[in-house]
Structure 1
Amino acid sequence: MTYLKAIALLAGSWWAYKISKPKSKVEFGELELVGVDIPNTESETKSVLSMLLVPNGLRFAKGYNSYADWGYTLFDILINQIKSGDLLINQASYIMATAYHEMGQFSLLRERYNDKISVLKKTLKGDKLREFNEFLKIADTFGVSAEKAVYMEWKYGVQSWCYNPASRRKNLSNKYKGDGARFFGRGYCQWTGRHLYTKFKEFSGVDVLSNPDLIVNDKRLNALMTIKMMMADKPNNLTGVSLKLYCNENKTDYYNARRVVNSTDRAKDIASYAQKFENVFNSYLKK
């Protein structure tokens, strides 16, 4: 499916499209984006949701750095999936909490960075310094500032001067110079690494490997992919673990549900957000 086809279907408020099994060496199986009609009711959703956030201890970012519209879009899709029976409230609550956390209360779309160039120049020695200087020559060719490219390459890259190259090869499937600078966190779950960008391309038809920033070109498509991959069974999910394991009709384990995205870092905080969003969903459905 091409990107234009996906957008055309979404614009018509149809969520009934199917992404076929990829014809490549990497077989991810088949991911189906639920064959139901999901209406776009964002205007109505926003008017009600905006009154429920603060009383429940939640707040979407405002002002210049606000991506609150991404929050309203995701909530709108989730509330309609609850109504259609495709998601349970605890599942929707955890997906919403994950996005709320990963996007900094909807204050960021792309991962933030610090300028590490001067520090690395001072601390790196020998071959690591030479390899770093070679990267610095091309740091402004990745579609972001040289400072951001260096930081993301240091954080997620596989070169000798990077933070943890062995881990990035294993956990993110990054393998080439520049993969860290290309495949840093973006979108609802802060998609990170060649592995997840490859999955996004396989299932959406959007070539985010050639142009990684396309992953946030359409918030509705990003939302659909995030929901489905958090809910999907292995190997179609984000980390090999499905949210259904922790949130289902018989169980609500918001703490360990963090494993669906990123081990248990900040698990307690996100569990708290999930409980608050559960209250919001319940209040919204009573309106």
Structure 2
Amino acid sequence: MNRAAFYASVRSRTSGVFGTSLSEGQVDGTEAILNEAERRGTSLKQLAYILATAYHESAHTMQAVRETLAKTDDGAINALDKAWKAGKLKWVKTPYWRKDAEGKSWFGRGLVQITHKANYQKLGLIIGVDLVKDPSKALDLGTAVQILFEGMELGSFTGKSLRDYIVDGRADYEGARRIVNGTDKAALIAGYARAFEKALTDAGYKAVKPAAPGAEPTSAPPTPVTQVAPAPAIPAVQPTPEPPATPATIEQGPVPSGNWLSAFFIKLANLLKGA
């Protein structure tokens, strides 16, 4: 994959994402997602939608952020309380962000923000990180990238997965919003996905599935990666985007939904078999 070509595409004035320059944080987050996609052999169109989701859910920062973009947990709690009391969170039945008996808060964190203790527990089990003991680990970029990919591939957020909308060359980018949050901003995010699809195509991205342990490679290795030095390739730095007027939340119920558990055990079985 030619990463210089990828960044040139997303920095185009007409791309529909980022604008003409990226901040260091935006590059770091994007690189982490691209690296993980190449490691997994994620298809081009699925990767385009993963990038679009992270771009939207992180308020364009491509970083693992707290809900409302607050710098501290207390700041996020206060901002959510203020918005709720002002009637701006009409879909929220109970203030899930308030601290529990252990002093922990289960507001949104990450690239795809997970809310509610049950969802922290579920995603932590899937990626092998104890997010219940320390929910702030969801703010680690590496952890957030794992949650992003596993959640969207297994359907752990809502019961809908990438395979339900993007497979065999078919890409229902608007419908794919149901993987994370119903139909909220579905058309907007679909536009982001098309921009990332073009950038990945311009960069010559090819999905190469990793070989099973001990197996001979069955396909050609990926094309050499052209890394982009952030400073010379992306000279201008944009200020951090302003938070959205209404805090972005993923309102997930406390009971895990869909077939995420069966998918998880299938994944575990395949790993044990060396698939």
TM-score class normalised by the smaller sequence: 0.5 to 0.7
Q: 2:202 maps to which residue?
A: 283
Match of 2:187 among 262, 268, 275: 268
The list of structure 1 runs, each at least 4 consecutive aligned residues, that deviate by more than 6 angstroms after superposition, is 154-157
Post-superposition offset of 1:221: 3.4
Counterpart of 1:195, as a letter, is: A
**CA–CA separation in structure 2 for the residues paired with 1:220 and 1:284:** 24
Q: 1:241 maps to which residue?
A: 160
Give the conservation status (yes or no) of the 8 Å contact 2:137–2:143: no
3-state secondary structure, aligned to 1:277: helix
Give the conservation status (yes or no) of the 8 Å contact 1:255–1:270: yes
3-state secondary structure, aligned to 2:204: helix
Counterpart of 1:199, as a letter, is: K
Post-superposition offset of 1:248: 0.9
Change (3 A) 1:68 1:167: farther
Give the conservation status (yes or no) of the 8 Å contact 2:112–2:147: no
Match of 1:202 among 117, 125, 136: 125
RMSD: 3.6
3-state secondary structure, aligned to 1:182: coil
Give the conservation status (yes or no) of the 8 Å contact 2:66–2:139: no
Give the conservation status (yes or no) of the 8 Å contact 2:53–2:112: yes
Post-superposition offset of 1:197: 0.8
Counterpart of 1:213, as a letter, is: S
**CA–CA separation in structure 1 for the residues paired with 2:110 and 2:92:** 25
Change (3 A) 1:284 1:62: closer
Change (3 A) 1:192 1:263: same
Counterpart of 2:61, as a letter, is: F
Q: 1:33 maps to which residue?
A: none
**CA–CA separation in structure 1 for the residues paired with 2:32 and 2:137:** 18
**CA–CA separation in structure 1 for the residues paired with 2:69 and 2:143:** 29
Q: Which stretches in structure 2 are left out of the alignment for 5+ residues?
A: 206-222, 224-275
Does 2:16 align with 1:93?
A: no
What is the TM-score of this pair, normalised by structure 1? 0.58
Does 2:153 align with 1:231?
A: yes
Name the structure with the higher helix share: 1
Counterpart of 1:77, as a letter, is: E
Counterpart of 2:48, as a letter, is: S
**CA–CA separation in structure 1 for the residues paired with 2:37 and 2:151:** 14
**CA–CA separation in structure 1 for the residues paired with 2:16 and 2:88:** 39
Q: 1:178 maps to which residue?
A: 99
Change (3 A) 1:225 1:147: closer
Counterpart of 1:258, as a letter, is: R
Q: 1:193 maps to which residue?
A: 116
**CA–CA separation in structure 2 for the residues paired with 1:205 and 1:178:** 24
Give the conservation status (yes or no) of the 8 Å contact 1:150–1:181: no
Q: 1:103 maps to which residue?
A: 58
3-state secondary structure, aligned to 1:213: helix
Match of 1:221 among 143, 152, 158: 143
Aligned pairs, how many?
A: 200
Higher relative contact order (CA 8 A, sep 6+): 2
Q: 1:150 maps to which residue?
A: 78
3-state secondary structure, aligned to 1:149: helix
Post-superposition offset of 1:108: 5.1
Post-superposition offset of 1:270: 0.3
Change (3 A) 1:202 1:263: same
1:105-124, Cα deviation, whole Å (9 max, x unpaired): 22653235399xxxxxxxxx
Give the conservation status (yes or no) of the 8 Å contact 2:63–2:111: no
Give the conservation status (yes or no) of the 8 Å contact 1:45–1:72: no
Q: Which stretches in structure 1 are left out of the alignment for 5+ residues?
A: 1-43, 116-142
3-state secondary structure, aligned to 2:68: coil
Q: 1:127 maps to which residue?
A: none
**CA–CA separation in structure 2 for the residues paired with 1:156 and 1:201:** 28
Give the conservation status (yes or no) of the 8 Å contact 1:88–1:249: no
Counterpart of 2:119, as a letter, is: L
Post-superposition offset of 1:49: 3.0
Does 2:212 align with 1:212?
A: no
